[in-house]
Amino acid sequence: MEYYLDSILTTARMKFGITMLKPYQILVIQRILEQEDSAQVRHQLVILPTGTGKSVCFLIPATLCKGITVIVYPLLALMNDQMAKLRKAGISCVCIRGGQTKQQRDEIFARLETGTKIVVTTPESLMGTYVMKRLSGFTISLLVVDEAHVISQWGKGFRPSYLSLTDAVIRLRPHQILAFTATATDRTIRDIRSCLFFSRPLIVKGDIDRPNIIYRSYPTLSRTQAVVELARTCTRPAVVFCRTRGDTERLCIRLLMETHGIPVRFYHAGLTREEREALEKWFMDSADGILLSTSAFGMGVDKKDIRTVIHHRLPASYEEYLQESGRAGRDGNTSDAWVVVTSDDMAAESPYSPVLETFRLPRNGQAETCRRRSILKAMGQEKDECTGCDVCLGERKTGMTAQRQIMKLIHRWPFRFDDTVASFLLCGVKSTRLIHYEDIMNPLFGSVQGWNPKAFSRTLERLSSEASMFPVSSLRYLEPTGSGNGKLLYPSGKSLYNAIASLLRRIDNGYRWIVRKTDFLRRRGKSRGGKKVRKPD
């Protein structure tokens, strides 16, 4: 035991410049080295949060074990990153990836015959017939699968090669198999086990909490606007996670238009390899950039100083959320993880992501709970104290930007504005339409800051026709007959005939009268709605 500890610490210091190893790192490494000559091996499944030095746990043993170590990564970017790290440490390694010629592959195997001990690859390249045939001729000490949660996440979908890693285990006969992941639910652990391990592995589970990340919710009327506002104010470098490639591109254009001087780029799997590598390099070196990305980016980057992660839309599971938000603050300094939630997300009938449960505004009368505890609970971990979330810090953003102003405007001046004029007024645009009616003197003129009037007008329109949970949903628009200018705003909940009707509804024999009267008023209301009503009061 002593012997191992010594050589572990020396290797860590001499090769990787690490003077202190954490207890769980030593535990995992020691176990690997102890089992090196043992006939009875217990493979390991290591669950440690991002940014806690997972890779050292297999790179140190890789240099100390006698045979070859094969490390499987899901993304090219991760491979490049690891290769650079190894090269810097002066450790010889080879990379087997797509697009290599037979001659290049032969050179790689020649290097393996002459002392190189580390192979970095993807499951697709590893499962190639020629590669498999040549590799199975070597003694494989360790088969390492990094980011192993993708076996469960992508294996059944677009990366079927992940499931065929079972064949790699059979054919390469590695002495030890190690799976590393940052987060894993019971289902993921089951999937990893059935794919890689034929016997019960040892499970090393670290604390998955990232104490330096502060989880925050950003309720908003418009997702895009929220990202613009956050981009202006957040500490950078920042990553914005979007669901679709189109979203990253659209948002990028919007940010370039509205945030002057902030470098912004987008990244997704639809770009060419060269484009992606250039973007990764740009972001790695960037001190104040913003990168809009799909989940394709997340794992590829070992950028330590990302200060803010923003979720434009939430991923489909808590695991993915932790992976993505965990890109922030890998240097251990305080970082923010924002989640943008809209009024539509808050509707009970649209829980498209389970993670929303943690970040949505509370339903009527419910107290809001700590976001950290809620996330950890979903991952099966209990936590007594929170090291920072907007709820515990009392920094919760309760109202949605501009919401109160919209409500005030509609309630005080119903029928007066269509959404274009309302947006001009609230955003403070000195349009002739406002000057003409002296609305420029309105106390709400310019009361909404930071919005683009066009976007605001679109948001107003969307809110009244679609958003089911926003208070405007109780307000209806009237379609003007004839050649009116767009739609008129009016609060149906407040209208006089509703109040009278609700009173009379209590009188049994008044029922028919109400029906008749309501019909009459509705007809009258419709014909009146077509005209411009300037002063309803």
Burial 307-320 (b: 16+ CB within 10 A, else e): bbbbbbbbbebbbb
Stretch that binds Zn ion, among 168-176, 185-193, 391-399, 400-408 (CB under 5 A): 391-399
Cis bond upstream, residue 237 (ω within 30)? yes
Is 288 or 395 the residue whose CB approaches Zn ion more closely? Answer: 395
Instruction: Tell me: does residue 372 bind Zn ion (CB under 5 A).
Output: yes
Residue among 4, 50, 2, 54 at smallest CA distance from 25: 54
Instruction: Tell me: does residue 26 bind Zn ion (CB under 5 A).
Output: no
Is 212 or 447 the residue whose CB approaches Zn ion more closely? Answer: 212
CB of 51 to Zn ion, least distance (A): 20
Q: Please give the Cα distance from 253 to 6 (Å, whole number).
A: 54
Do 285 and 276 touch, CB atoms closer than 8 A? no
Q: From edge to edge, which strands make up the β-sheet containing 213-220? A: 213-220, 335-342, 308-311, 238-241, 290-293, 264-267
Residue among 235, 402, 301, 340 at smallest CA distance from 50: 301
Q: Please give the Cα distance from 354 to 343 (Å, whole number).
A: 16
Give, as ranges, the residues between 294 and 323 that touch Zn ion (CB under 5 A). none
CB of 373 to Zn ion, least distance (A): 6
Q: What x-and-dash track marks residues 491-530 binding Zn ion by CB under 5 A?
A: ----------------------------------------
Residue among 345, 339, 347, 346 at smallest CA distance from 320: 339
Instruction: Tell me: does residue 210 bind Zn ion (CB under 5 A).
Output: no
CB of 339 to Zn ion, least distance (A): 14
Stretch that binds Zn ion, among 132-140, 277-285, 336-344, 392-400 (CB under 5 A): 392-400
Q: Backbone phi, then psi, for 325, in 5-degree steps? A: -70, -25
Which own/partner pairs from 320-325 qualify as long-range (CB within 8 Å, at least 24 positions apart)? 320/153, 320/295, 321/355, 321/375, 322/49, 322/182, 322/183, 322/208, 322/375, 322/379, 323/50, 323/149, 323/182, 323/183, 323/298, 323/299, 324/241, 324/295, 324/298, 325/210, 325/213, 325/215
CB of 311 to Zn ion, least distance (A): 17
Instruction: Tell me: does residue 386 bind Zn ion (CB under 5 A).
Output: yes
Is 32 or 392 the residue whose CB approaches Zn ion more closely? Answer: 392
Is 394 or 482 the residue whose CB approaches Zn ion more closely? Answer: 394
Total residues at interface with Zn ion (CB under 5 A): 5
Considering only CA atoms, give the Rg of the chain: 30
Instruction: Tell me: does residue 169 bind Zn ion (CB under 5 A).
Output: no
Among 95, 310, 389, 448, binds Zn ion (CB under 5 A): 389
Is 375 or 406 the residue whose CB approaches Zn ion more closely? Answer: 375
Is 93 or 322 the residue whose CB approaches Zn ion more closely? Answer: 322
CB of 390 to Zn ion, least distance (A): 8
Instruction: Give the CA distances from residue 488 to residues 437, 460, 467, in Å, rounded to whole numbers and listed in that order.
Output: 16, 11, 17
Instruction: Tell me: does residue 392 bind Zn ion (CB under 5 A).
Output: yes
For the four alpha carbons of 242, 326, 375 and 398, in that order, the dihedral sign comes to negative
Residue ranges with strand state E in 107-159: 118-121, 140-145
CB of 393 to Zn ion, least distance (A): 7
Q: What angle do CA 163, 150, 320 make, to 5 degrees?
A: 155
Is 303 or 372 the residue whose CB approaches Zn ion more closely? Answer: 372
Is 180 or 215 the residue whose CB approaches Zn ion more closely? Answer: 215
Instruction: Tell me: does residue 71 bind Zn ion (CB under 5 A).
Output: no
Instruction: Tell me: does residue 370 bind Zn ion (CB under 5 A).
Output: yes
CB of 377 to Zn ion, least distance (A): 12
Stretch that binds Zn ion, among 48-56, 69-77, 133-141, 378-386 (CB under 5 A): 378-386
Which residue has its beta carbon closest to Zn ion? 386
Dmax over Cα atoms in the chain, in whole Å?
100
Stretch that binds Zn ion, among 38-46, 166-174, 379-387, 481-489 (CB under 5 A): 379-387
Stretch that binds Zn ion, among 182-190, 221-229, 377-385, 387-395 (CB under 5 A): 387-395
Is 45 or 386 the residue whose CB approaches Zn ion more closely? Answer: 386
Is 193 or 373 the residue whose CB approaches Zn ion more closely? Answer: 373
Instruction: Tell me: does residue 337 bind Zn ion (CB under 5 A).
Output: no
Is 389 or 406 the residue whose CB approaches Zn ion more closely? Answer: 389
Strands 290-293 and 213-220: unpaired
CB of 312 to Zn ion, least distance (A): 23
Give, as ranges, the residues between 264 and 293 that touch Zn ion (CB under 5 A). none
The upper half-sphere exposure of residue 457, i.e. CA atoms within 13 Å in the direction of its Cβ, equals 17
Residue numbers at the binding site for Zn ion (CB under 5 A): 370, 372, 386, 389, 392
